[in-house]
Amino acid sequence: MPMERPDPGYRNEWRQMQAKAGLCQAVASHRGFFLLHVPPDIGTKADGTLSMAAEELAMKSITDGAAPDSADAARVLLDRLGDRHIVLVGLMGAGKTSVGKRLAQRLGLPFIDSDHAIEESANMSIPDIFKSLGEAEFRSGERRVIARLLGEKQQVIATGGGAYMDGETRLRIREKSVSLWLKAELPVLMKRVLRRQDRPLLANTDPEATMRDLMARRYPVYAEADITILSGDQPHESMVQAVIDAINRHLEQEAKA
């Protein structure tokens, strides 16, 4: 079975891995791009492709969903992070919950969506809170809930779109976590948010205009987060690996400062 070629974006990595023939091989699939360390006794065939034994090892790595190097990156991240949380910020539809759940699973940490925590605390849905109590009361409760979450044991926290706009909340997040902005372009956001009908701020005749306004007002504030990652249509596993790599780079630079 021939080895799949990586997508164009990985060509440089492919060439680098090819230069290490006999020690490792680059393996790509729809699940992502992996660096597979190949023991000398099962290495490559004369034509440069993986031996059958190496192919089996590669397929096992892909099926397991994480290559050895990605597991190492997760362990390094946790060591560098200490007891701080990871907090995801960004607009509705940016992927905070879907990415956050998978990131938490990879790191072996609990995951919490602050909107769900607010609903549990108020015993009301967020649309009902907006309708019955108004946005100001919702924001006050949001501030209190996030402060409580930041005082709990280490976890991955996905915040609501407006949470990071509160100065007091931003300060707490800065003190107790590494913050990550999932930045998405308008078409991506609209495609995602229109799948659901529980977005109070978009319950109007022109949700796209509302989203544009939110982007204009909130993106400059989101940019204060420690890390920015572009959220697009890439596979979830690729996105999670990009997040882990970005956090590791940030923490490494932080340690050198």
Same domain, 25 and 114: no
Burial of 82 (0-12, 13-18, 19+ CB in 10 A): exposed
Check residue 205 and give its pLDDT.
Answer: 73
Q: Which of 65, 98, 113 is the last residue of a domain?
A: 65
Distances (CA, A) of 40 to 15, 44, 48, 58: 20, 8, 14, 15
Tokens of 171: 């300060």
Considering the domain architecture, whether residues 51 and 151 belong to the same structural domain is answered as no
pLDDT over threshold 80, residue 16: no
Lowest mean pLDDT among 31-40, 152-161, 172-181: 31-40
- 248 shares a domain with 219: yes
Which band of pLDDT confidence, cut at 50, 70 and 90, is reported for residue 166? Answer: very high
Contacts of 220 (CB under 8 A, 6+ apart): none
57 and 160 part of one domain? no
Report if residue 172 sits inside a domain.
Answer: yes
Give yes or no: residues 109 and 49 share one domain: no
Residue 59 one-letter amino acid: M
Residues 39 and 79 in one domain: no
Q: Indicate if 89 and 131 belong to the same structural domain.
A: yes
Query: 84 and 27 in one domain?
Result: no
Q: Which helix H or strand E contains 171, and what residues bound it? A: helix 167-176
pLDDT, position 232: 84
Could you give the C-alpha distances from 200 to 34, 121, 126, 139, 188, in angstroms and in order? 41, 19, 8, 13, 19
Candidates 60, 58, 93; CA nearest to 195 is 93
* Tens digits of residue pLDDT in 117-128: 999 999 999 889
The larger pLDDT score, comparing residue 109 to residue 10, is at 109
Decide which of 65, 87, 103 is a domain's last residue.
65
| DSSP secondary structure string for all residues of 183-235 | E--HHHHHHHHTT-S--GGG-SS-HHHHHHHHHHHHHHHHTTSSEEEE--SS-
Backbone angles phi, psi at 13, to 5 degrees: -60, -40
Decide if 3 is inside a domain. no
Instruction: Answer yes or no: is 198 within a domain.
Output: yes
Instruction: Answer yes or no: do 27 and 135 share one domain.
Output: no
pLDDT over 70 at 186, yes or no = yes
Q: Say yes or no: 201 and 166 in one domain.
A: yes
Structural domain contains residue 1: no
Identify the pLDDT of residue 150.
97
Asked whether residue 28 falls in the same domain as residue 85, the answer is no
Give yes or no for residue 63 having a pLDDT over 60: no
Which CATH number fits the domain that encloses residue 143? 3.40.50.300
Mean pLDDT of 18-37: 37
State pLDDT tens for residues 194-221. Answer: 776 656 666 667 888 988 999 999 999 9
**Looking up tokens 């919702």, which residue turns up?**
138
Whether residue 128 sits in one domain with residue 103: yes
Length of the chain: 257
Residues in contact with 150: Cβ distance below 8 Å, sequence separation at least 6, in sequence order: 85, 87, 157, 172, 173, 176, 177
Give me the domain span that covers residue 213. Answer: 71-256
Residue 154 has pLDDT above 80, yes or no: yes
**How far apart, in whole angstroms, are the C-alpha atoms of residue 91 and residue 214?**
8
